[in-house]
Homo-oligomer: A and B are copies of this chain.
Amino acid sequence: MAVDIALIHFPVINKSGETIGSAVTNLDIHDIARASKTFGIDNYYIVTPYTDQQELVNEIIEHWQTGHGAGYNPARKSALALVRLKDTLDDVIGQVAGERGQKPVLITTSAQLQGISITFAETRRRIETNEPILLLFGTAHGLAPEVLEKADYTLPPIKGITGYNHLSVRSAVSIILDRLLGCMEKA
């Protein structure tokens, strides 16, 4: 398999649908790195163009990679080793294309049904063929239209049984990675 993920902080939308940049959340770094490590994701890209936010991410990673946290919690160190910081989604696509030898299939996720949809089953099938796949997740109220337009496919929204559709991005990433990559013990 050749699956990478990217968490986008710009461009995303706010509750009014306006395009904004969001602040990095500490537990997004940790929780999504731990889920990525669990499910065999190769690279977890954090995308933000803001220098202060990049410095924050680097400080947190350094604490757990080479600072006090590295000795205190080796499991956290190995998860955070997957994190890569990038200015823009195009930078991520360029890096993945360079490393994988071809442009990745861009698959977005959304709380609303968007664009050309792909099923979880079809995505699993493509993962098994080792096709390079880049999964995109949005912070704030979701990915901006210009990101959704770049995507090749969109996964269906995660629905429970209640119609309530407001999971945290940490929960959404965890569930989607489990659906795509979790062992079939769930049967």
Contacts and interface: CB of A to CB of B under 8 A. Distances in A.
Interface of A: 15, 27, 30-31, 34-35, 37-40, 73, 75-76, 78-79, 119-121, 156, 158-162, 164-168, 170-172, 174-175, 177-179, 181-183, 185-187
A79 B164 contact: yes
Contact of A30 (B34, B37, B168): B168
User: What number of copies of this chain does the assembly contain?
Assistant: 2
Given A31-B170, A37-B160, 7 more contacts: A27-B27, A37-B166, A38-B158, A39-B161, A40-B161, A161-B183, A171-B174
Nearest to A175: B178
A68 to B, nearest CB: 14
A171 B40 contact: no
B167 A38 contact: yes
A15 B75 CA distance: 12
Contact of A37 (B38, B78, B162, B170): B162
Nearest to A27: B27
Nearest to A157: B185
Contacts of A187: 119-121
B166 A175 contact: no
A160 B34 contact: no
B170 A182 contact: no
A161 B184 CA distance: 10
B167 A170 contact: no
A23 to B, nearest CB: 14
